[in-house]
Amino acid sequence: MVANNGSKVQFNVYLPAELVRELKHRAIDEGVSLSSLVEHVMSTYLSGDETAPTEGERP
């Protein structure tokens, strides 16, 4: 997967259905796209000191 400066790429992940539902509702409530919300959440997580959750654990 190669990305140019500022370009975006699509990738697939498997998430629990309930989590996806919550994300979609939050995006609607905040008036942003699902992509923007997920990008923000992942960027925030990666910029912090948190450690990755273990398999099956939800942060």
The answer as to whether 4 is a domain residue is no
Name the token pair of 43.
């960027």
The answer as to whether 52 is a domain residue is no
What's the whole-model pTM score? 0.71
Instruction: Map tokens 């992940």 to a residue.
Output: 13
DSSP for 1-59? ----TT----------HHHHHHHHHHHHHHT--HHHHHHHHHHHHHHSSPPPPPTT---
Residue 32 near residue 22 (C-beta atoms within 8 A): no
The domain of 22 spans 17-46
Per the structure, the count of domains in the chain is: 1
The answer as to whether 36 is a domain residue is yes
The answer as to whether 29 is a domain residue is yes
How confident is the model over 1-58, as pLDDT tens digits? Answer: 565 678 999 999 999 999 999 999 999 999 999 999 999 999 999 998 666 666 666 6
CA distance 21 to 47: 25
